Structure formats: structure tokens, C-alpha cells
Structure 1
């Protein structure tokens, strides 16, 4: 049994019907079809996820109409917990759902298995959807932030979470040698076609930074990557170690007007300005520059964000 198929033809058909029902807004039909799939394949983790989503949607619809059924909320939570138990590597991202519903840790670390599966499945339509569908402009905004005090040239740069190479392509002649890092092989395959990276590494960001030589880079960039990282202290400390004195880090985040870090219904983290400043300072970085930046649009509205630039002190 895989996460996307049960091995039972009838169960898989009912799962497909359940997906179609949910896409059309029929959460009752989706739940019924998912339950029928699980009667035949009770260890089908993806069907438990779908059942949870259907129950959650039905609960939300009732809450909006003033007729919420508390039992549906708990039933959705149980479905997500069952999926998590059947998927110990969290390929399906259940920690996000459980945290969002208040049933688990407030700031889960998204598993490499989940992120790899998410972006490998997204790779083929990634650029078209991001740029044309969501108006994504993170790389251009980061380059503008880097050039704010005049253009510079960086000998060695690292593109963390490089994806298909949109950020690397935007950097262009600013960089002499560019290393791309991503944990999704399908993304790296598309980045390789661009011919802009001296080296591409299949790895998670934390693992790569822990093994990279100290003081080996003049620039680290992360475009639309830290929206999948709750606590920034660790990754920024790793970047600070890898940067040479005077080196810069440039990244984008989603932002919010409250305090700390919040996990949104989109499964992405939003960071308050004070939270970013604290993490930057704890990493030993300086000259923080925070600028408002809407790196993409969703449902016709700008998503609040920031471009962030910081520098490793010369001494």
C-alpha cells in the first residue's frame, strides 16, 4: 500500500470519488465515499486524511451558519491522528493539520518526507502556477533588496531551497559560483536544465548547513523557503556559520501584525517583525533591513510579507 493508493481497486475508486466530491464542495458525499474506501482498506492513510478534511469542512460550514457540531471537529481530529499513526514519516503533513487544529505541538517541524513529496508532486507545474497563477515575484524583490545600496558581486553564493531555479536565475551576474540546495529530486532536475548552478545538492537545509565548510560563502538566499520553517534561530545560526565575514543573507517571509510565529490555514508560517529581529540577533548577524513585500497573491489579494537582509559582521 502506498500513501496515494490502497492496493484495492474499489477502495481507490471510492477515494477518487471522495476527492471529486470535496473539490465540488460536497463534504457529506466526500466523507461517505472516504468511509467506504476505509471499510475496504482501513490502513489507507490518504483516505483518513481526506475523511478528516471532509469532516473539518462540514464543521466549518456549520460554524459559519451558526449550527456547528462539536463532534465533527473531534471526528476530524481523530481522522488526522489516525493518518499520522499510519504515516510515521509524516509524508502527508499531518503535523500541520494537528497543530492548526490545536491537537498537537504549536510549531511542528515539517518533516523532510512531507516537503519532498509536496514539491516532487508540484515540480511539473511549479513555475507556471507560482508565477502566472499567484503572481510570484520573490526573486525580483530579493534582488532589489540586495541592490538597494548599490550592486555587488558575490564570489560564492548558496540558494537554499532552490526549487526549479527561479531565484538562481534572478541573481544572474551578481554571483560567480552558485550552489543550489533542495530536498526534492524532481525540482533539482528542472533546476539543472537551466545551467546556472555550479553545483546542485539534494539535501535538507539544516543538514546541508551543518556539513558545509565554515566561512565558505559570501551570500545565502532563501526565496519563499522560510514560510515552511517555524523557529528561524537554528537555520539562521547555520547560515551565519557558513557565511564569510561581511557575507549577507537574504530571504523572504510571510508576515503578520501580531506577536511571534503563527501557522496559517495554508500550512505556512508567518513571522512577526520582532520575531525575525530576535532570531537574526541571536545568530550574530547585524545590519538588519526589513522591507514590506507581497511576494505573491492568493484569492486575488496580496499575501503580507517581508524581504530580509542581514550581514555577518567583519569582526
Structure 2
């Protein structure tokens, strides 16, 4: 039997819940194609699922040696197996490939299958800080995806740009005509290379792909005007995980603590204005809790007084009851730009 046919058989066995048999077939296939990267990755999956940890570690390591860009995401698997430290973030090539494949069914899966509430909750938090009648001059939507956040922001800004790693997701958002400009890029690299400043930067369901948030927060701060807002969501670590800054979950998404988010933001000149812990979506039977936060870039002289009772206007605000925002269709032609950072 040809190698590709054997792999199809092994995939079917994995899907049917027989990883041991799948591993046996894959090991036999390895004799035919010893340098096939995807084969080593599948062996890692089958070995891990059948509790053969050491074999899984060896297979994932071999895959990375053959495919260092890690489009299949072996690095988080190795971290979850305890073979390597938790990474600072997921491999960009993995995230891009994941969403390029996911793009055509993304919204149906997220909104219907997972009951995703991120954009609505984040806009509610923004309104609680800025006021529901505020119109922002310029907005940057990080990890814009198919434009779910952009659709809600369009009504409250004069100019909005979106950035995403996935060309397929950018194509989906471009078709909606929501954004004034779109860019294909890794987020921190884009922020580092851009020189403009924004009144509002958003990151809805983006921080789950980053462990160490310091580089992103530093880059966002540099792109905000004084008084500008950074609004974001982040999966929340378990309430009993005291002292834990971040955790890579079996879902291969990162969760962060509120203390860590506030601390890193403060180290880069951002002061918390709003925080709400709430359920943003579901994952099977599980409700996934997240932090919904809004930070403000304050002048250096104001940072020392940001929490002072003598500065009541700088004290964190509570989130009001749910507010909704409608969609806005542009009548003018939208300029679409595309930038790829190597």
C-alpha cells in the first residue's frame, strides 16, 4: 500500500478512537517515507493520544527539524507534554495556516457553534469608558479576522484598519467593505513598522495565541495617542490558579490572569479603566471565561496619580448593562491595502 493510503487509514483509525492501531500503521509507513514531516506529526498525535509520551516527543521533535516554520503546531504539543518550556506565543505559521483553512466556516462555527460574544462585550466595555456617543478618529483592529469586531466599530469611528496573519481571513473581511484599510501581517511586527497613532486599538480573541504579552503591549502603547484606549479580551486562568500569570491550555490557547494583564499594561504606560470577567464563548459543554479590559495610555506625569482618590476621573469604571451597536455600510469605495511582513 502507498504511503498516502496508509496515512488515510491511520487518520480514520484516529478518528474512530483507536490511536494504538493508528500508531502501528504510521510506524510502518515511516519505513517508506522517513523524511515526510506531516507523517512525524501524525505519529506524535497518535503516540500522545495512546499515552506513549516519549515516542510523541521524539516524533514532534523530528517534525520540527524537518519543518522549522511549524505550520502544524508541534511546539505547543511539546510544551503540553512537558518536553519544552511554555512558548512565548504560538508559531505564526501555525496560526496563519489554521485560519486560512478555517476562514470559510469561521463565522458560522464561532457565532452559532460556540455562541461567541466577544465583539459585543468588548464594545460594551469601550462604551462604558468613552461613552456610547463617542466617535473615534482612527481605530486599529488587531487580529481582525473576518471583521466581526470591525462591523461593530464601523459606526463609532471615522477611519478603521484591520490587521491579521491569515490572508484568507483578510479576504473574508475585505468582502464586507467594513475597513478603510487591511493588512496581512504578524501583529507586533506591524505595530513596530507602522508610524501612525490611533485613538483606539482593539484585540478581540487575539491574546489567546500569545503567552508573553509584554512585546505586544509595548508596541500598542507606541501607536496610541495620549488618552487613547486599548480594548482587549483574554481567556482567564482558573480562579483557583493563584499567582499564575499565564497557562497554555490543552486547547493550545493561552489563558492569562487579570493581575498579569494589569501589571504588564502598567509597565508600558497603560492604566486600567474597565475590567469584567465573563463568559465569551463555549467549547463543547464548557463555558470559557475571559477578561474584558480597557486600558488608557496616560501621560507620564499622570501615571503616578492614576489610582489616587484625588483623581476620581481616572478610577476604573464598572460595565453597564448590555448595549448594542448596529452595523454600518459604507457608501464610498473602500481602499484595500495589503502588507506582508516576512
Same fold at TM > 0.5 = yes
Match of 1:27 among 9, 13, 19: 19
Match of 1:79 among 31, 54, 59: 59
1:264-315 deviation digits (Å, cap 9, x = unpaired) = 0000000011111111101110134221121110112211211011001145
Match of 1:38 among 13, 30, 33: 30
Match of 1:18 among 1, 10, 19: 10
Deviates more, 1:217-226 or 1:35-44: 35-44
1:164-243 mapped onto 2 (5 Å cutoff): 164-214=146-196, 216-243=197-224
Offset at residue 157 of structure 1 (A): 0.3
Q: Using CA pairs below 8 Å that are at least 6 residues apart, which structure has the higher relative contact order?
A: 2
Distance in 1 between residues matched to 2:168 and 2:217, nearest whole Å: 26
1:187-212 deviation digits (Å, cap 9, x = unpaired) = 11111001011000111001110011
Q: Report the equivalent of 1:115.
A: 95
Query: What secondary structure sits across from 1:294 in the alignment?
Result: strand
Q: Report the equivalent of 2:74.
A: 94
Structure 1 runs of 4+ aligned residues shifted over 6 Å read: none
Distance in 2 between residues matched to 1:223 and 1:116, nearest whole Å: 17
User: Do the aligned partners of 1:223 and 1:251 also contact (CA within 8 Å) in 2?
Assistant: yes
1:251-276 deviation digits (Å, cap 9, x = unpaired) = 11001132111100000000011111
**Corresponding pairs, count:** 294
Query: What secondary structure sits across from 1:104 in the alignment?
Result: coil
User: Do the aligned partners of 2:154 and 2:160 also contact (CA within 8 Å) in 1?
Assistant: no
Offset at residue 103 of structure 1 (A): 0.9
Q: TM-score, normalised by structure 1?
A: 0.90
1:216-264 deviation digits (Å, cap 9, x = unpaired) = 1000001100000001111011001000011101111001132111100
1:127-166 mapped onto 2 (5 Å cutoff): 127-149=107-129, 150-151=131-132, 152-166=134-148
Offset at residue 18 of structure 1 (A): 1.3
1:58-80 deviation digits (Å, cap 9, x = unpaired) = 11xxxxxxxxxxxx211111111
Distance in 2 between residues matched to 1:212 and 1:280, nearest whole Å: 20
Is residue 280 from structure 1 mapped to residue 272 from structure 2 by the alignment? Answer: no
User: Do the aligned partners of 1:286 and 1:311 also contact (CA within 8 Å) in 2?
Assistant: yes
Q: Where in structure 2 are there 5+ consecutive unaligned residues?
A: 301-342
Offset at residue 13 of structure 1 (A): 1.6
Deviates more, 1:292-301 or 1:266-275: 292-301
1:4-45 deviation digits (Å, cap 9, x = unpaired) = xxxxx9211211221121111111121122223322211121
1:117-153 deviation digits (Å, cap 9, x = unpaired) = 1111111111111111111111111011111242121
Distance in 2 between residues matched to 1:36 and 1:293, nearest whole Å: 48
Query: What secondary structure sits across from 2:138 in the alignment?
Result: strand
Query: What secondary structure sits across from 1:213 in the alignment?
Result: coil
Distance in 1 between residues matched to 2:194 and 2:164, nearest whole Å: 14
